[in-house]
Homo-oligomer: A and B are copies of this chain.
Amino acid sequence: MGRTSDAREKILGAARALIELRGYSALGVAEICKAAGVPKGSFYYFFESKEALALAVIDEQWAVQERSWKEVLAGDAEPLLRLRRLFEVTQAAQHAGQRDCGTISGCMFGNLTLEMSNHTEAVRVRLQEIFDAQVGMIDAVVAEALLCGDVTVTDTREAARAVVAQLEGQVLLAKLYNDTQGLGVLWANCLALLGARAPGEVATGL
Q: Which residues of A contact B (CB under 8 A)?
A: 21-23, 25-26, 103-106, 110-111, 113-115, 117-119, 124, 127-128, 131, 158, 161-162, 164-170, 172-173, 175-178, 182, 185, 189, 192-193, 195
Contact = CB atoms under 8 A, between A and B. Distances in A.
A165 B124 CA distance: 22
A68 B85 CA distance: 39
A172 B119 CA distance: 15
A180 to B, nearest CB: 14
A21 B119 contact: yes
B173 A185 contact: no
A21 B120 CA distance: 12
A47 B168 CA distance: 33
17 contacts: A23-B23, A23-B25, A23-B114, A25-B26, A113-B172, A113-B175, A113-B176, A114-B115, A131-B173, A162-B185, A162-B189, A165-B170, A165-B173, A168-B169, A169-B169, A169-B172, A172-B172
Contacts of A117: 175-176
A114, A128, A178: which has the most chain B beta carbons within 10 Å?
A114
A114 B195 CA distance: 30
A102 to B, nearest CB: 9
A115 B113 CA distance: 10
Contacts of A113: 172, 175-176
A177 B131 CA distance: 10
Contacts of A110: 114, 172
